[in-house]
A and B are shown apart, each in its own frame.
Chain A
Amino acid sequence: DIQMTQSPSTLSASVGDRVTITCRASQSISSWLAWYQQKPGKAPKLLIYKASTLQSGVPSRFSGSESGTEFTLTISSLQPDDFATYYCQQYSETWTFGQGTKVEIK
């Protein structure tokens, strides 16, 4: 099984900060990785797929990148609406999610 190790588990930041969240896959997943944002009591929302492609309608301050089996979600300038929990998901084989990163107000 492919394991996804996501870090950090919690991140405290201020509006305007640049934020990065990382997911490391236990083996190659090519670029089959998505990032989701979830707010309390709501379903996840797709932000990025295929590691770096922005989903339609998602603000351009969100971006994704990859280096081997390490994947990064970057929020270039954190906005009030961005305080939420973020998950990565590999869909290379038998899909798995990372453990999640809660972005809190500093």
Chain B
Amino acid sequence: QVQLQESGPGLVKPSETLSLTCSVSGDSISGYYWSWIRQPPGKGLEYIGHIYNGNTNYNPSLKSRVAISSDTSKNQFSLKMNFLTAADTAMYFCARHRYGMGSDVWGKGTTVTVSS
């Protein structure tokens, strides 16, 4: 059974960089799309970006501040987002997406608050 677990700081100061990691257990990260999605409090889902076999794709509105990478030796992938503001306060989810089949496995999410 595939499981995803997000980890990272719950509190980040404005203008600083957020680093989150998604650890994958139960399957190899090779051969799937791995994505980051966020949800501000009380709002809808926002796609951040994804990585597939080292190739990345990002939400154009976040592209200048975001980088997603993967580490096959650790079976995990990561998100870095810089120049944070209060608008980046959200629940951050990682998810597995199978080609053509939607995001079928999700982490439980991690809350990130941007505040001084």
Contacts and interface: CB of A to CB of B under 8 A. Distances in A.
Contact of B101 (A43, A44, A49): A49
Count class of interface residues, chain A? 20 to 34
Task: Report the interface size class on chain B.
Answer: 20 to 34
A83 interface: no
- Majority secondary structure of chain B interface residues (helix, strand, loop or mixed): strand
A3 B40 CA distance: 19
Q: Which of A32, A38, A91 has the most CB of B within 10 A?
A: A91
Interface string B45-77: 111001000000111100000000000000000
Given A34-B103, A49-B102, A94 B57 contact: yes
Most chain A CB neighbours (cut-off 10 Å) among B37, B45, B109? B45
A83 to B, nearest CB: 17
Contacts of A97: 37, 44-47
Interface in B78-110: 93, 95, 97, 100-104, 106-109
Closest CB pairs A-B (n = 7):
A34-B102, A49-B102, A43-B106, A100-B44, A97-B45, A95-B47, A49-B101
20 contacts: A34-B102, A36-B102, A43-B93, A43-B106, A43-B108, A45-B106, A46-B103, A49-B100, A50-B102, A87-B45, A89-B45, A89-B47, A91-B97, A91-B102, A94-B57, A94-B59, A95-B35, A96-B47, A97-B46, A98-B44
